[in-house]
Amino acid sequence: MADLHELTALDQWNLLQRGEVTPLELADHYLGRIEALNPLVGAFVTVTPDAARERAELVRTSVPRSAPLWGLPIGDKDLWQRAGVPTGFGSRLLAGYVPEESDEIVQDLDAAGAVSLGKTGAPEFGLPCYTETLVAPPVRTPWDLGRGAGGSSGGAAAAVASGMLPFAPGSDGGGSIRIPAAACGLVGLKPSRGRVPSGSGLESLGGLVVDGPIARTVEDAALLLDGMIARRNGRVDHRFAVVAPGDDRAFLGAAVRGEGRYQLGVMTTSAWDLDYEIDLDPDALAALDRAADEFAALGHGIEQTALTPDPTYGPAFITLWKAGAARIPAEGEAMALLEPLTRWLVEQGRAVGARELGAALAALTAYERSLIRQLSTFDAVLTPALAMTPRPLGWYEAEDAEHNFAQQVQYTPFTSMLNVSGLPAITLPVWQTSDGLPMGVQLIGRPGGEAVLLSLGAQLQRRIRWQDRRPAVWGTANLR
């Protein structure tokens, strides 16, 4: 049999179900991978081997085997609290903080039968799209250890891409699942607002932040999404999730079948085109062309489209980004513990008045309606995932916050507008540069359209077979 980490998460789940491997054996296998590879990649900021082994045995003896993630290892993003485990939020401000209670998303993953091996790295309070902090080594894409894994779910993506986890949950408030997934050659799915009950976005400012999966295959992403949705007796709890009546079907079926013919739009415009100069790397365009050609060969309709420029988007989003940082618990001398970008955002955010914030929220609500209307003639719309190749470590300006934000937008212009609109989106790793760097595309779905995105992704995966690619670091340690 192949080494366990060579198998898909779905294959590993089937082994667990048949009793051919135990949760403890699987946890031990991945803990060995983490011990060998994490010093190179920096994906985990905290590893909890004793707790993981105890949890694996608890799953074996006390969690129903029918649980959707039964026995499968994951990592908790370091923006999520797990009782008894240090949770640093990527910041010196919370060094040594150990929560007494777990966040709801952590509880739901536990209820689904997952086994946490520790905390995956994130930037300070999840604010930037790269994971290079003052409290831990930078998180590197396994495809080139001199380049960053992206953020804010950078540790989660790096762990999956290097074979330290079969898949990993993340959160996405402006691209934080899709950006690192693309930088690490993975599938990353941002669900519709309201799809995942404990990470719905409905409780966050502007409804931006939702939770979703990062995986090597479309099927694995669907499997993890089903586990995160936290069905009760096979049904979604309608009090906490936005679903159509009767729409309780698991998404794994759509990903496995990969059926249907659809009308697809293709575009290279974004919500930021009036605010910043957006230059698309030739490899970003090559990835887009490859995906469009493959979809056309599969019989899907392909049509070029473009967004109507909107001067209100950029200023409104920046206002919201600042205001979201205002709640960070730093006062007085503690402000000096924050990184320069975060400190500037906190100061700027606390200066935003109620009238300014209300106007920004109104403008983004109008943009949400406009974007959904503009894309409504398509079943899905194809864009580049990133405008550039994964960025070298140290590329982002540390001291000049406004220049830093411009860099982030120029790297990731296609992501934040979908958090504003609440639309689902999936990134797919369809291309590699001449240097072997991953480049992906993004598919944008209709509201609640995750099944279509997974079906399309599965069809493309069958033709390109990105799951067979491995970064060099994958085989650095010969572990069982």
Give 165-210 pLDDT, tens digit per residue. 999 999 999 999 999 999 999 999 999 999 999 999 988 999 999 9
| Confidence at residue 296, expressed as pLDDT on a 0 to 100 scale | 98
Residues 81/25, Cβ–Cβ less than 8 Å: no
| Confidence at residue 232, expressed as pLDDT on a 0 to 100 scale | 67
Q: Encode 337-362: b = buried (16+ Cβ within 10 Å), e = exposed.
A: bbbebbbbbbbbbeebeeeebeebbe
CATH of the domain at 459: 3.90.1300.10
Please report, rounded to a whole number, the percentage of residues in the chain having pLDDT higher than 70.
95
Residue 345 domain-assigned (yes or no): yes
Torsion of CA 401, 407, 412, 416, to 10 degrees: 30
| Confidence at residue 240, expressed as pLDDT on a 0 to 100 scale | 54
3-state secondary structure (DSSP) of residue 47: strand
Instruction: Map tokens 């993890």 to a residue.
Output: 224
Residue 480 domain-assigned (yes or no): no
| Confidence at residue 291, expressed as pLDDT on a 0 to 100 scale | 98
Tell me what the mean pLDDT of segment 42-52 comes to. Answer: 98
CA 113 to chain centre: 21
Tokens of residue 160, six digits: 């999956």
Please give the tally of structural domains in the chain.
Answer: 1
Phi, psi (rounded to 5 degrees) for 300: -80, 150
Residues whose CB falls within 8 Å of the CB of residue 148, separated by 6 or more in sequence, listed in order: 130, 131, 132, 138, 139, 140, 141, 154, 183, 390, 391, 392, 393, 395
DSSP letter (8 states) at residue 192: P
Tokens of residue 456, six digits: 């399309």
Active-site residue, from 116, 176, 198, 455: 176
Active-site residue, from 152, 171, 200, 455: 152
| Confidence at residue 480, expressed as pLDDT on a 0 to 100 scale | 38
Largest CA distance in the chain: 63
State pLDDT tens for residues 19-31: 999 999 999 999 9
Tell me what the mean pLDDT of segment 133-142 comes to. Answer: 98
Write out the residue range of the structural domain in which residue 184 sits: 4-475
Phi, psi (rounded to 5 degrees) for 189: -120, 120
CA distance 86 to 171: 19
Q: What is the overall mean pLDDT for the chain?
A: 95
Please report, rounded to a whole number, the percentage of residues in the chain having pLDDT higher than 90.
93
| Confidence at residue 184, expressed as pLDDT on a 0 to 100 scale | 98
Is the per-residue pLDDT at 445 higher than 90?
yes
Q: Does the annotation count 455 as an active-site position?
A: no
Q: Do the bridges between strand 210-215 and strand 263-266 make them parallel or antiparallel, or are there none, so unpaired?
A: unpaired
Tell me the CA distances in angstroms from 183 to 90, 141, 233, 433, one per residue in order: 20, 7, 37, 12
Helices (H), 114-217: 154-161, 178-183
Tell me what the mean pLDDT of segment 334-358 comes to. Answer: 97
Tell me the CA distances in angstroms from 84 to 100, 103, 112, 267, one per residue in order: 6, 12, 20, 46
Go through the chain and tell me how many residues it has.
480
Tell me what the mean pLDDT of segment 352-364 comes to. Answer: 98
State pLDDT tens for residues 232-259: 666 666 555 555 545 668 999 999 999 9
Residue 420 domain-assigned (yes or no): yes
With bands split at pLDDT 50, 70 and 90, how would you rate the model's confidence at 411? very high
Q: Does the annotation count 152 as an active-site position?
A: yes
Cis peptide before 153 (omega within 30 of 0): no
Residues 179/150, Cβ–Cβ less than 8 Å: yes
Q: Does the annotation count 200 as an active-site position?
A: no
Residues 453/445, Cβ–Cβ less than 8 Å: yes
| Confidence at residue 230, expressed as pLDDT on a 0 to 100 scale | 77
| Confidence at residue 231, expressed as pLDDT on a 0 to 100 scale | 72
2 burial class (0-12, 13-18, 19+ CB within 10 angstroms)? Answer: exposed
Tokens of residue 205, six digits: 């400012």
Helices (H), 198-267: 218-229, 252-257
Is the per-residue pLDDT at 212 higher than 70?
yes
Is the per-residue pLDDT at 117 higher than 70?
yes
Residues 149/131, Cβ–Cβ less than 8 Å: yes
Phi, psi (rounded to 5 degrees) for 45: -95, -20
Name the strand (E) or helix (H) holding 14. Answer: helix 9-18
